[in-house]
Amino acid sequence: MQPINERALKLGDDSLILGQRLSEWCGHAPMLEVDLALANIALDLIGQATLFLGRAGDPDALAFRRDVLDFRNCLLVEQPNGDFAQTVARLFLFSNWQELMLRDLCSSDEFGDIARKSVKEVAYHARYASEWVVRLGDGTDESRGRMIAGLDWMWRFTPELFEGDAAPLRGEWDARIDAVLGDAGLDRPKDSRPILGGRKGHHSEHLGHLLTEMQFLQRAYPGATW
């Protein structure tokens, strides 16, 4: 596989899997406004996935007919939703990274057109999640405790975001994360042994369960059209 295709897979799989995760909130979010916001963010991500995967091949086949070991998304995006605070923590950590990454890709010959369109959407995702981190962290004792627990759960998966070409983004990402946590009155989670492997196809059991649901119709009725 050519390097451009491998990178397209990583970018597309990140958006596809997080979009699928967020879509699981549809009809289950804590309030109607949040339900609509998460659904719209999920649609943005699925749209991005379609464009990036289209650079690697047939986007439908790549989304619905690949086995779990062939996916190249980071482990962070496949983590379960948990409660609302855990979902916010995942979106907060990932979207702030994704915005920086897409900003750098805007001048890329390979992905510049997709990045210039997508970075505006992701800037909203990052802002939305950041506002909720502050709202929950600076809220009640319960909301603060849940926000801390959500960040602690997701933090160990963040080192994978900065492997390879994304390493230079770490300093600016740290500054952005620390600024929001400061506004929320939250401490930065303690670093622990990083959990890696998603970029090489070594995934958690959570991705297998997600794909079972997402790929059901294509697996059960191969070649079907609507």
In this structure, are residues 95 and 129 in contact, taking their beta carbons and an 8 Å threshold?
Answer: yes
In a domain, 190, yes or no: yes
In a domain, 153, yes or no: yes
Report the alpha-carbon distance of residue 23 to residue 203 in Å, rounded. 20
Residues of the chain with pLDDT under 70: 1-4, 226
pTM, to two decimals: 0.95
Report the alpha-carbon distance of residue 73 to residue 11 in Å, rounded. 7
Report the alpha-carbon distance of residue 122 to residue 41 in Å, rounded. 8
pLDDT for res 1: 43
pLDDT for res 170: 98
SS3 121: helix
In a domain, 15, yes or no: yes
In a domain, 112, yes or no: yes
Q: What is the CATH number of the domain that holds 207?
A: 1.20.1260.10
Q: Which domain holds residue 81?
A: 3-220
Side chain identity at residue 17, one-letter code: I
Q: What would the pLDDT profile of 36-86 be if each residue is shown by its tens digit?
A: 999 999 999 999 999 999 999 999 999 999 999 999 999 999 999 999 999
In a domain, 39, yes or no: yes
Report the alpha-carbon distance of residue 160 to residue 182 in Å, rounded. 24
In a domain, 226, yes or no: no
| Residue 202 structure tokens | 């070594």
pLDDT for res 226: 61
pLDDT for res 4: 60
In a domain, 225, yes or no: no
In this structure, are residues 96 and 132 in contact, taking their beta carbons and an 8 Å threshold?
Answer: no
pLDDT for res 224: 73
Q: Work out how many domains the chain is built from and give that number.
A: 1
Report the alpha-carbon distance of residue 115 to residue 139 in Å, rounded. 35
pLDDT for res 218: 85
- Exposed / middle / buried, residue 95 (Cβ in 10 Å: 0-12, 13-18, 19+): buried
C-alpha distances in angstroms, 27 versus 38, 49, 121? 10, 23, 22
In a domain, 106, yes or no: yes
